[in-house]
Structure formats: structure tokens, C-alpha cells
Amino acid sequence: MFIIYGLISTIISFFSINLLLHTHWTVKRSNLAKEYFKKAEHGKFEVINNSLIIMLPDKEDLDELKITLNGNKAMRLILNNNTLNTVYLEKTQ
């Protein structure tokens, strides 16, 4: 009986952790930050007058990215440039 209870608990725990990894806001923000750090390190963004330009088509995604990257601070740290400004723009059609 104890073995069955342990097995069921393990299976339920596995599925709840798996669900959490796909739905929790901290995981979403972490993955979003990783994606934009990689893009920045590979020069995928335009830099004009010491400003890194990030353009996204959706205002909601843009606001989420600002929070995730903590304004200027994250890109300054990743790109090792204390004077870099990050500009978030909504891409127009």
C-alpha cells in the first residue's frame, strides 16, 4: 500500500512541476530574458547614439519585456556598457 501511495505521489508531483514550468510567470520571464540576451550578444539589435533599439509589434509584450529586462539595467550588464540606453518601441505596421 505504501509503495502505491509513493508512486502516485511521485507521478502527481511530476505532472504538477511540468505544468508549473509551462505556466508560471517567473519561468516565462526567465526564458524571455534569455532570448533577448542571446539576440543582443549576437548583434541582432540596432544601436544608435549609444541606445539599443528593441522593437516589438505588441504593446503588451513590450511592457512585459521592459519589466523582465529591468529597463536599462539588464542590457547594460550583459553587454558590459554602463552608459547604454535601452529604447523599447512599438513596431508600427
How does pLDDT run across 6-65, given as a tens digit for each residue? Answer: 999 999 999 999 888 888 888 888 988 998 888 888 888 888 888 888 888 777 788 889
For residue 89, give the nearest of 46, 53, 50 by alpha carbon: 53
- Other C-beta atoms lying within 10 Å of the C-beta of residue 54: 21
0.95 exceeded by the pTM?
no
Which amino acid belongs to residue 26? T
